[in-house]
Amino acid sequence: MQHSSSAHKLSLRPAKGAHSVNKTGENAKRYAGSHSSNRMSFTTKGTAFLVACALAFCTATPAAIHVITAQAAPANSEVTEFASEVVSPTVNKAAYDLESTLTDDQFDKRVEKLKTGKFYLAQSAGGRCTVASATMILRRAAYLKGDDAWRSIKESAVTKKAWVAAGLKNSFSSFGMKMNLKSFSKSKASKTSQLKSLLKKHPEGIAVYDSSLPHAIVVTDYDAKTKTFYCADPAPSYAGKRIPMAKTWNGTSRGGQKGAISHLTGYWAVS
């Protein structure tokens, strides 16, 4: 597979083949898409038909999510659910990387409001977890800058600037902001410290990527008392609310928060 020079160059290689996950209490299975439909072979036509009906095939990109529900949520759907406890802001406006027109008090209040459902989007289709995550971050960053037009930032518009055949670009500019892809440290302890440090500078969040799952989610904030990272997962089965990392697709696939963090390979952040 050829990669665009403008797409990420980290060794973020997608997993091959298809896989499914069964989770107690859920009525539907979430299926992972194959990278190329012509690579799949089945022993009988009947089996091929049944599997074809069940699987939602994803775009063959290293930046693709391979977790699709039976019915994907509409692009940029805004779910109003707010199912998490309030955690006091841990961000000092003076340390914020982006120029904001807000007062300190306004800024703190907006950091809290970022936890409500209107800032959590579902990806428009399979393979679009990275661009959906980037869209959430740009909306959140615009909100913290005091830009009341933050709602106009949609996945479709960001896609035009940030998406190429190989997936989300390494670096791109959209709605007056720039995002860049960087790599994580190798050890879990270093990644954990790196996440904490990044969140202090980026209350809008960072889009983290597990290349072998593969899936991208937004890490939104950290609760030091419970040592919990909270996230926004664009996968339709998880989208619409702020949830602990352990309950995201990454967390449920990797055995919890520690496993999810240890498998992270890269992240996009506003610069």
Identify residue 12 by its one-letter amino acid code.
L
Q: Find the angle CA(134)-CA(26)-CA(47) to the nearest 5 degrees.
A: 90
Identify residue 59 by its one-letter amino acid code.
T
CA–CA distance, 91 with 150 (Å, rounded to integer): 20
Q: Are 199 and 223 in contact (CB under 8 A)?
A: no
Judged by average pLDDT, the poorest of 76-90, 172-186, 248-262 is 76-90
For residue 1, is pLDDT > 80?
A: no
CA nearest neighbour of 245 among 234, 255, 260, 235: 260
Identify residue 97 by its one-letter amino acid code.
D
Pairing of strands 30-31, 20-21: antiparallel
CA–CA distance, 120 with 232 (Å, rounded to integer): 6
Pairing of strands 177-183, 171-174: antiparallel
Judged by average pLDDT, the poorest of 18-22, 107-111, 244-248 is 18-22
Judge residue 94's burial from the number of C-beta atoms within 10 Å of its C-beta, 0-12 exposed, 13-18 middle, 19 or more buried: exposed
149-202 tens-digit pLDDT: 999 999 999 999 999 988 999 999 999 999 999 999 889 999 999 999 999 999
CA–CA distance, 34 with 14 (Å, rounded to integer): 10
CB atoms within 10 A of CB 215: 28
What local confidence, expressed as pLDDT, does residue 116 receive?
77
With cut-offs at 50, 70 and 90, classify the pLDDT of residue 28. Answer: very low
**The whole model's pTM is what?**
0.66
The three-state DSSP-derived secondary structure of 240-257 is CCCEEHHHCHHHHHHCCH
Q: Are 233 and 249 in contact (CB under 8 A)?
A: yes
Supply the DSSP string of 109-126, one letter for each residue. HHHHHTTSGGG----SST
With cut-offs at 50, 70 and 90, classify the pLDDT of residue 3. Answer: very low
Instruction: Give the rounded distance of the alpha carbon of 81 from its chain centre.
Output: 18
- The residue ranges of every structural domain in the chain are 1-271
With cut-offs at 50, 70 and 90, classify the pLDDT of residue 119. Answer: confident
Percent of the chain whose pLDDT exceeds 70? 63
Percent of the chain whose pLDDT exceeds 90? 51
Which range has the top average pLDDT, 2-6, 82-86, 147-151?
A: 147-151
